[in-house]
Structure 1
Amino acid sequence: MNCPSLEEGYEACRAETRHWAKTYYLGSLLMPPRKRRAIWAIYVWCRRTDELVDAPDAAALDPGQLHQRLNQWEERTRRLFAGEVQDAQDMALWDTLQRYPQDITPYLEMIAGQRMDINLKRYRTFAELERYCYRVAGTVGLMSQAVMGLDAAFYSAPWSRCPDPTNCAVALGIASQLTNILRDVGEDRERGRIYIPHEELTRFNYTEAQLMDGVINERWRALMRFQV
């Protein structure tokens, strides 16, 4: 394999981010050039991880095959953190990790979150769902924080200083994932997945069968108001 150049790696990440996450890409353009490139590299790794389970070709694989995919990806990620790159996008992420050092744990947690998508199609409680959201999205907050360099002086408004930037970054990631879940109820239903916790469906006397049938009634509307 020809060794990719660093510029090729970052350009590949830029192009993928622009193609698959247009609004995310536009937001990244507000960042300093070096940091925006790092964010692109992280985004591409996260997207690749998600696609191992959610890409169209994954539907034809059984759980064992999907877990094998994730096993191979986890090993590749560990090797990447040790300095072994396999393609241009790996090169960009490796450089990002040198410029903005961070622990491998959030990356491994995200892979664990993809394993939950293989093993779990339903969630009993919000606590279970929150754990999933942390793994697949709260971890992105941790990865991004390493690049953005948030500290206790960071704030979004003069009256709203963030006392713990790490918790704020994780909370933002979890909130984004919860929003995605509400947006994608129909799409997830087609995949046989229900992310809204069973305890919350029960609270509003709305059944899984009704959700799978796409029933829209007052109970559903009340449930959605509660979710929002």
Structure 2
Amino acid sequence: MSDETHHERELGGQLLASVSRSFYLTLKALPKELREPISLAYLLARTADTIADTALVSTTVRLDCLQSYRSLVRGSGDVQSLAATLISQFCTQQSDDAERRLMEKFADGIAWLRTMRPTPLAAIQNVLEHIIDGQMLDIRRFPADGRLRSLATPAELDEYTWLVAGCVGEFWTQLCATELPGALDPAIATAQMQDWGARMGKGLQLINILRDIGEDTRDGRCYLPCQPGEIQTEWSLWLQTCTEHLECGLRYVQHVNHTKLRYATALPLLLGIQTVAKMRTTPWDRILQGVKISRLDVASILAQAAIACRSPAALERLYRKLAQA
């Protein structure tokens, strides 16, 4: 008999796979105690992301919808009213069929959230509030008026990467500690694991920012705190910061005791460090076109990780190898 709930079967299968792409590999590899709350949190975060990114809908409407969504996550507000708005104003603007279905299933996602036990529910509510705050901040900072804008300071970029991804590392650690006792190395304080997890999340978000630098600047967004003529130099500096964050991610994964959880946690880190290695050796004109690793690379990392994740030392050897690829 399947250990999946009704909502997990309905929303956590094809729909989740279609919107999570490579991260679906991590979600399906998770131990069953963590799979449902983390899958739900990811699906709800992707819903918020789609609301924020639907540029054909006015800024005011998107911000209002995100604010209503934030309230619903905490249990107040009219689910059907927001669901109707998403169907009438957002569904028709989606070029991707998976994003359209995500909008259509909004009310079902909230219903799934309502089934969570108190401890994972509180963790999901907390991380979603941070993510939605980051998305609202993003919309306000980058109005779609044709002008190129940059973040003002390194602190603003650090804040943004924490809000949309670093907080996920803390959420992940919290759930591991409460839902799968013994999964994390008891010799390491939970606060230290949360810090390493947050830095891993920030590093993974920086990868997205750095590899999408060309597309984002063409759309009027520069997440790097610099003037237009300084982008390439600043990009190199933040690539180094990204690498330092991922080093913390390596320490995090090495102190996950549960083998299956270590594998699931290591996958985004290993895919990330290979992407960093590729960006480091790619000419700038190609960087501006976008960088990603191939499906063959992904398949190779999956196969190697299945063996390497059996021990922290083997995992580190694979990480160092991919960092030099």
Q: How far 1:64 moved relative to its partner?
A: 1.7
3-state SS of the aligned residue for 1:173? helix
Q: List alignment gaps of at least 5 residues for structure 1.
A: 1-5, 81-85, 212-219
For normalisation by structure 2, the TM-score amounts to 0.53
Note the alpha carbon deviations across 1:113-162, whole angstroms, 9 max, x for none: 1111111132011111111111111122233223222889836xx9x998
1:207 corresponding residue in structure 2 = 229
Q: 128, 132, 139: which one pairs with 2:156?
A: 128
CA positional deviation for 1:51: 1.0
> What is the CA–CA distance in structure 1 between the aligned matches of 2:182 and 2:236, rounded to whole Å?
33
Q: Corresponding residue for 1:43?
A: 42
**Which residue does the alignment assign to 1:217?**
none
**In structure 2, C-alpha distance between the alignment counterparts of 1:37 and 1:168, rounded to whole Å:** 23
Q: 1:164 to 1:76 in 2, by over 3 A?
A: same
Distance 1:62 1:137, change over 3 A: same
1:98 counterpart residue number: 118
- What's the CA shift for 1:167? 1.2
Aligned to 1:9: 7
Report the aligned-residue RMSD: 3.2
Q: How big is the shift at 1:97? A: 4.6
1:66 aligns with 2:62: yes
Confirm whether residue 20 of structure 1 aligns to residue 19 of structure 2. Answer: yes
* Contact 2:41 2:128 survives alignment (8 Å): no
Q: 1:23 to 1:97 in 2, by over 3 A?
A: farther
Q: Distance in 1 between matches of 2:115 and 2:171?
A: 14
Alignment partner of 1:227 is 2:255 = no
Q: For residues 30 and 137 of structure 1, what CA distance do their matches in structure 2 show?
A: 20
Q: 1:28 to 1:20 in 2, by over 3 A?
A: same
Name which of structure 1's ranges 90-99 and 105-114 shifts more when overlaid on structure 2: 90-99
The alpha-carbon deviation at position 163 of structure 1 amounts to 6.4
User: Are the structure 2 counterparts of residues 61 and 31 from structure 1 closer, same or farther at C-alpha, using a change threshold of 3 Å?
Assistant: closer
Contact 1:162 1:168 in 2 (8 A): no
Q: CA deviation at 1:22?
A: 2.7
Indicate the percent of aligned positions where both proteins have the same amino acid.
23
The one of 142, 145, 162 aligned to 2:173:
145
